[in-house]
Structure 1
Amino acid sequence: MAQRPDPEQDLSIRAAWLHYVGGLTQAEVARRLQVPSVKAHRLIARAVAEGVVRVSITGKAADCASLEAALCARFGLTTCEVAPDLGETDLPLRALGQAGADYLRRAIESGAHQVIGLSHGRTLLAAVRQLPRTEAPGLRFVSLLGGLTRSYAANPHDVMYRIAETCGAQAHILPVPFYANSVEDRAVLLSQPGVADLFALTEEASLKLVGVGTVERDAQLVTSGMIGAGELAAIRAEGGVAEMLGHFFDEHGHVLTTALTRRTLATTLDAPRQSRIVAIAGGPGKTGALRAILSSGRLMGLITDETTARALLAPPT
């Protein structure tokens, strides 16, 4: 007979998450959980006493575990991580960053990967910033897409330098723009010594941790200088609602072939059988994009927040 979940343990884990990850005071935790301050203190103390609070929080709230199982069943995922809600009103960077850091740390410490591929973006950068010092001298990281803007400036949300510093590992960047100015320029860039070798290395990555983008006017692709607002408007006009690894998807998860994607300098979406693509994304502005990416069937895993998980499981409006 299955053991029934302990509601108090669930509450103590949530209290610990709000206090140690969310940065809330014990009084604020009490208000958030609608319990007396004395009980909030006792819940946090219980989490500490039971070994839940270490460098990271190892326990899992029961409702988040339920959401993870439901997402796996609905979208055919093999792994899912749902971070408890910290009350962040926009992009939940604290919650997603901690959950992403925990997932990446476990992947590194498992020793199961020789090459891990990373995309870029605010959420993935938050995860790498929260990653504790984790020695991985035999592991190689590789960027899954071009790291330069159209004007060949550095991408402000690139993660490769920080991951190399944190893990003492080799981190290979793709020294090309995300999108070439033309199809001909793309061919020239791919012919440069070493560039083809790095693209081949991305195919060796047995784990690919990626972000998910939107096609809204304020999308990160535009604000970071990767593409122009007019180019993104053209993608919207063709039915695009989501972006992953430089490729665009319609609401049904179909990949769009456009003039822009023909100039993409990124790893292929058609990953080898042994490769795992895991997306880390969340927030109210990402629900539609995430649903499209999940519908494509190209993800093996998802790291998201509690509010977004519930929205993804709700019937589309």
Structure 2
Amino acid sequence: MEDEELLSRAAWHYYHDGLTQADIGERLNLPRLKISRMLEKARRLGLIQVQINSIYGSCLALERALSERFGLHATMVIPALAGVNLNDRLGQAAAQYLMQTLQTGDMLAIGWGDTVTRALQRLAYTVASRNISIISLTGGVTGYLQGLGLPQIAAPNIHLIPAPIVASSVTLAQALREEPQIAELFAMTRLAHAALVGIGATNAQATLVQSGYVSPAELTLFQRMGAVGDILGQFFDSHGVPLDIPLHGQLIGVSLEQLRGIPIRIGASGGSQKVSAMVGALRGGHINVLVTDEDTATALLREGA
């Protein structure tokens, strides 16, 4: 029996037939612990999709208010839950939105960061079964995509920019962007139906700082220049206007202007430290679909007034 078929059988017995994990184990001749792990794997791969049919299931009032305030195409707000990894929950929600949005043969453009990675982990089955192509919006993506458990995705369907996200100089960055292979990938991003990006804050926990691409001293300078956050390594102010800084010339990736050419631009982010960055991204129109939690949603409406 194929692994995917076994996962599907276990999921069907548990969610549709109402069998306990012990009952399923007896039917499939497997220990209960194995069944538990299989159900978790099926959920993470996207084989299992949970839909809550309630107006309160996704904080509808906050979704409507955010969509109206910032002119969004769609908003998904998940209930607050203390003591659980927020990026993991937001990644799950972003994956759920994409499962409902992506059609057979579509292309999904991706940024980089923890929340994006967690969403991709849960999209493996959807991407493979619908023949969806993945293309990176920046360099530096290859490293964090390794080990995601996406073996069933055909290699020709994954297009990653073979370069770091930040080059050592503006001259080198320009040369890399003009390389035929990289230039072709940049052109391909214009074919994407949807993009999934993270929104970075300007603090010591920012991915760019943690990865060593931006030093704490540089970050302090950017803050003094008005930076509130970044998308794809590009820092912007409270109105979403990109800063004029040398770092942007060293980036290997699409610009925020080019990003806005993609029809569906999903920003998945949350937490009190991200609110100012998210407001800037929303005001700048860099994203038109927002995935966040209800505490952050409330703060966004307050700060973005």
User: Given residue 312 of structure 1, which amino acid in structure 2 is its aligned partner?
Assistant: L
* 2:110 counterpart residue number: 118
The separation in 2 between residues aligned to 1:161 and 1:204, in whole angstroms, is 27
For the pair 1:159 / 2:152, whether they are aligned, the reply is no
User: Given residue 219 of structure 1, which amino acid in structure 2 is its aligned partner?
Assistant: A
The separation in 2 between residues aligned to 1:237 and 1:274, in whole angstroms, is 31
**Number of matched pairs:** 255
The separation in 1 between residues aligned to 2:263 and 2:304, in whole angstroms, is 30
Find the partner of 1:192 among 148, 168, 179.
179
Show structure 1 runs of 5+ residues with no match.
1-19, 21-53, 149-153
User: Given residue 127 of structure 1, which amino acid in structure 2 is its aligned partner?
Assistant: A
TM-superposition CA deviations, 1:222-247 (whole Å, max 9, x none): 11223322322221121101101121
* 1:6 counterpart residue number: none
Find the partner of 1:140 among 133, 138, 142.
133
User: Given residue 60 of structure 2, which amino acid in structure 1 is its aligned partner?
Assistant: A
Note closer, same or farther for the CA distance 1:315–1:141 as it changes in structure 2 (3 Å cut): closer
By how many angstroms is 1:106 displaced?
Answer: 2.0
Task: Determine what percentage of the aligned residue pairs are the same residue.
Answer: 32
Helix, strand or coil: the match of 1:291?
Answer: helix
By how many angstroms is 1:260 displaced?
Answer: 0.7
Instruction: Report the aligned-residue RMSD.
Output: 2.5
Q: Is the 8 A contact 1:161 1:171 kept in 2?
A: no
Q: Which moved more, 1:127-136 or 1:285-294?
A: 127-136
Find the partner of 1:73 among 47, 57, 68.
68
Q: Is the 8 A contact 1:164 1:171 kept in 2?
A: no
TM-superposition CA deviations, 1:230-276 (whole Å, max 9, x none): 32222112110110112111112222121111211111222465522
Show structure 2 runs of 5+ residues with no match.
1-14, 16-46
By how many angstroms is 1:61 displaced?
Answer: 4.8
* 1:247 counterpart residue number: 234
For the pair 1:127 / 2:119, whether they are aligned, the reply is yes
The separation in 2 between residues aligned to 1:264 and 1:86, in whole angstroms, is 36
Find the partner of 1:306 among 294, 299, 304.
294
By how many angstroms is 1:167 displaced?
Answer: 4.3
Q: Is the 8 A contact 1:116 1:205 kept in 2?
A: yes
Q: Is the 8 A contact 1:217 1:233 kept in 2?
A: no
* 2:49 counterpart residue number: 56
For the pair 1:96 / 2:82, whether they are aligned, the reply is no
The separation in 2 between residues aligned to 1:123 and 1:286, in whole angstroms, is 13
Within-5 A mapping of 1:155-304 = 155=143, 158-159=144-145, 162=148, 164-165=150-151, 167-168=153-154, 170-271=157-258, 273=261, 275-304=263-292
